[in-house]
Structure 1
Amino acid sequence: MAGCSPCQSLKEKCKSRGLILFVITVVMFVDCILFSIVAPIAPAILFDTEFGIENTTITFHNASSSSSVLLSNHSINENSIKEPYHDQIINSTESTGNQTDCYQAKEYLNEENVRVGLLLAIKAILQLVTNPIVGKLINRTGYDAPLFWGTIIMFFSTIMFAFTSSYAFLCVARGLQGIGSSFTTVSAMGMLAHVFPDDAERGKAMGFAMSGVAIGLLAGPPFGSTMYEFIGKSSPFLVIAGLALLDGALQLFILQPKKLTPISVPATPYRNLLMDPYILVAAVALCICNLSYGILETTLPIRMMETMCAPRYQLGLSLLPCVVAYLICLNAFAGFSLKIGRWLCILLGIIIQGISVMLMPLALNIYGLIGPSAALGIGFGLMETSVMPLMAQLVDLRHTSNYGGIYAISDIALCIGYALGPSCGGAIAKVVEFEWLMIILGIINLVFAPVLILLRNPPGKEETKPVLSQEGKQDS
């Protein structure tokens, strides 16, 4: 079991690497299903609970009549909105084929772009702030305890989502989710890098763990939208809270997070990692990848409400082909990326992403989104199959084999992309329209792609070789 010596507790756990991989995969699944549930149903939650809070003149249409109504926050509450106008607003798409029977409050939906974007971006902002703290904490405590703490924080976040309908408390729950995600993501990826020191095994293990992410992204939108539509807003979040408790119990049994075991390998300072041009290029690519997804996740459901008259259950299905393709590619490309080079997989992935987002505005209904969405998933799969193992490889090659810092930086890059995506995407879509936003996003992907050639053959550093050789002697 070579490679487990950097952390004594992990040396013992190398005997049960399969169980550790399973626990981490479940952690990633719980994190990502909670992450993916909120985005597609957030416009509907706000539309249902806060429509008419400000004085607004809105026209409601059905197949036989139309009328204009002044909604006032003094005279109309949520229940009065739902009777008699609620079904006409939300379910008018179920009427007999009249394309004008849609979400008629267009100005409200346009404003909602910004509000939903801010709600989704809060997670990434809090995660961004927390990541450096978690990276340093891991050096003192090891990976197990922060992973468990993150799971508990996500549980409380999920409970908050289930029982609040206020926009302010939704933001608080989303921020708490970001803190929990920071603890789980950095700890999980660092633990995998330690437990699977062989580069080929590491790539396969990370691909398997990222399948938890893909399944969460795959299951979350349709699960959340369907449960919200037919059972109620709290139902999907209560199910996820139960999964979080189950995962916490698995961690207590398998990882024993009460034991704090500092990592013996000295950490490379954040400044040194951030000044490394190869790490910086990989981090920017990861940032652009999540910028693309964050913008689409925010603006595409509202685009569907405005132009496709999509019912609520369809809002969670728009990126379903993307996540299916992503799930398939995560495992299919793990060995392929080693054969052709991880740098080339990342390069191809970002090119495919750029082309696919530019095709999104051409879709006239949900079926027209299938091709661009699936291509986007292939691009994501090529990218993320390669970039996470590449980060660990760069640290092994050029620094010291302590992975808390590098995965904190990786998660920071991810969070910057996802913070900018929802917060800026909605505002830009309001100004330049969805079509131009997708063109701009595609150009960003395509322009950055040639820079990734720098990752083709990154050199090692002489000053890291003694450290790596000492680790090799310990392993032997």
Structure 2
Amino acid sequence: MELNGGGGSSFSQRCRQSRTVGLSVVFLALFLDNLLLTVVVPIIPEFLYAIERDKLSAELQQDLDLLAEEAGALAWLNATLIHPAEVYSKHFNVSEADNITNMLDGVAATYLNENSKVGWLFSSKAFVQLAVNPLVGTLVNRYGYSLPMFSGCIVMLLSSLLYAFGENYVVLVIARAIQGIGSSCTSVGGLSLLAETYHEDKDRSRAMGIALGGTALGVLVGYPFGGAMYQFVGKMVPFLIIALLCIFEGVLQLWFCQPWIKSKSAMTGSPLHELLMDPYIIIASGAILLPEMAMAMLEATLPLWLIQTMQPAQWQLGTVFLPDSLGYWIGCNVFGVVSLKLGRWLVTACALVFTGICVICIPLATQITHLITPHLFLGLAIGMVDAALMPLLALLVETRHVSVYGTVYAIEQVSVSLGFALGSSVGGQMVEFVGFAWLMRGMGIACFLFLPLCYFLRKSPFREENKSILLNESERHSSYTDNATFSYQQFHDE
């Protein structure tokens, strides 16, 4: 594409052609997606519990007031509210005392009930994302990444506003669910952009590691930001701040990606069913699923387990996940290139070992500080898996199928979504039957059982018809520099 116009126009055009600027756009999009994903973790369980607690407290107070009026001793009863069942057992009949005791037991039982509700709320995003990922992958293949990425930004803005102003369980579920659409558009579109732009495996690994650092930063900031903001300024403010950042990202994408530009022609990649029949893609997807499932189980069950066993302050519920975020950032930034030297299969296997050991150790903690090390290595494991396998999926498509990336990253996002869906919903339900400790042990055992399959990722065979295609593509892109034209220019009208 020819650069034309004045100096300002030429500068703007060069910026839109810069791979560094494109990488920054993807980084920020992934950051906001995961900031919104994690900021709710320390907020929603306590918010929902507070709603139920206030409801039960109001009902209890009504019974107390009624009994106090009948006894003519309202002031005295309020003074002895700490042990109302004992008071009423002395001054009223047994049925009235039992009624009060049952009400108080209901307050305690709310902890267990909220595990299930929180689990379904968290998993709603994953179920929606699971359903829309194949559609988004097809759209990216056919129309490019620009429009899906911008649509994802708009959906995240809407989700943030619903979180900010939602005051009941149903609205919060809707907010979480529609975020799944935004996450799918952002992740599939962003990763496809990087796969199309960075053609050398080493450059692609480094770029994806940097972009996934946006995911790590969002997780790093989200947990403590949510916990602290909720405790000191309430639920609405953190989500309004995220909404403002989404507006900024939307403006940036309008300038850079130009989503209104239509493709010259549709691109044809390998169909979904063909990629799903590839054993190497399936094994890689399974290795991505398990650590994500472990983290989802923790997000849905750990805060309430901590409330029951350690009674931490609200801000601590956010900071308990801080080591995961730091570990994930290290894993993404270090192991993208390291996995090329050590072997992606070996890095993936080590990550699953870390995951299994960490989730088994977490229920052994008796203090908040005991959770730092297992959470750090759990985050490191997830970062290692992502850094090793995201570029590998692009390479598998190039060497074994057609170099169109929307569908393969849709499959990767299906794995992530399935992990979160199963982790949040199944974890929230199973913890009531087997307990938190055995839930974590079962997850660890599943990781260990998957380990032998990682060896098959050691070397994936080429398909003969793709060898010449790869050679031609390598020669065609050998003259590209860091300021080379983005792949959308090959498919979009000037």
TM range (shorter): 0.7 to 0.9
Percent sequence identity is 39
Deviation string, structure 1 residues 43-94 (Cα, Å, up to 9, x no partner):
11101223254699989xxxx9763679xxxxxxxxxxxxxxxxxx9xxxxx
The code of the aligned residue for 1:276 comes to: D
- The reply to whether residue 190 of structure 1 matches residue 192 of structure 2 is yes
User: What residue is the counterpart of 1:95 in the other structure?
Assistant: none
Partner of residue 415, structure 2: 413
Aligned to 1:148: 150
Aligned to 2:171: 169
Alignment partners' CA distance in 2, 1:373 and 1:286: 17
Alpha-carbon distance between aligned partners in 2 of 1:206 and 1:261, rounded to the nearest angstrom: 25
Specify the structure having the higher radius of gyration (Cα). Answer: 2
Q: How does 1:207-356 map to 2 (within 5 A)?
A: 207-261=209-263, 265-356=267-358
User: Pick from 70, 73, 82: which aligns with 1:67?
Assistant: 82
Distance apart, 1:342 and its partner CA: 1.0
Q: CA RMSD in A?
A: 2.3
Letter of the 2:82 counterpart: S
Q: CA separation in 1, counterparts of 2:48 and 2:180?
A: 21
Task: Tell me whether 257-266 or 288-297 shows the greater mean CA deviation.
Answer: 257-266
Against the structure 1 CA distance between its residues 256 and 293, is the aligned structure 2 distance closer, same or farther, given a 3 Å change threshold?
same
Whole-angstrom CA distance in 2 between matches of 1:405 and 1:135: 4
Moved more, 324-333 or 394-403: 324-333
SS of the equivalent of 1:67 reads: coil
- Per-residue deviation, 1:391: 0.7
**In 2: Cα distance, 1:262 partner to 1:323 partner:** 41
Aligned residue runs from structure 1 range 16-27, under 5 A: 16-27=18-29
Distance 1:458 1:304, change over 3 A: same
What does residue range 118-157 of structure 1 map to in structure 2 within 5 Å? 118-157=120-159
TM-score by length of 2: 0.83
Cα contact 1:58–1:69 (8 A) shared by 2? no
C-alpha deviation, 1:312, in angstroms: 1.2
CA deviation string 1:301-346 (max 9, x = no partner): 1110000111211111111111112112211222211110111111
Give the corresponding residue for 1:106: 108
Contact 1:192 1:206 in 2 (8 A): yes
Instruction: Tell me, in whole angstroms, the C-alpha distance in 2 between the residues paired with 1:40 and 1:352.
Output: 24
TM-fit CA distance, 1:253: 1.3
TM-score, normalising length from structure 1? 0.86
Of 389, 392, 396, the residue aligned with 2:391 is 389
- In structure 2, the CA distance between the partners of 1:286 and 1:13, relative to structure 1 (3 Å rule), is farther
SS for the counterpart of 2:82 is strand
Per-residue CA deviations over 1:28-55 (Å, capped at 9, x if unaligned) read: 0000000001122111110122325469
Instruction: Tell me the residue number matched to 1:440.
Output: 442
Deviation of 1:384 after TM superposition, in Å, equals 1.2
CA distance in 2, matches of 1:414, 1:50: 31
Aligned match of 2:432:
430
Q: CA separation in 2, counterparts of 1:177 and 1:449?
A: 32
- In 2, Cα distance between equivalents of 1:58 and 1:199: 64
CA distance in 1, matches of 2:416, 2:84: 44
Is this contact kept in 2: 1:106–1:306, CA < 8 A? no
Runs of 4+ in 1 over 6 A off after TM superposition: 11-14, 54-59
In structure 2, C-alpha distance between the alignment counterparts of 1:65 and 1:329, rounded to whole Å: 55
Partner of 1:199: 201
Q: Describe the shift of the 1:12–1:257 C-alpha distance in structure 2 as closer, same or farther (beyond 3 A).
A: farther
Distance 1:192 1:127 in 2: 21
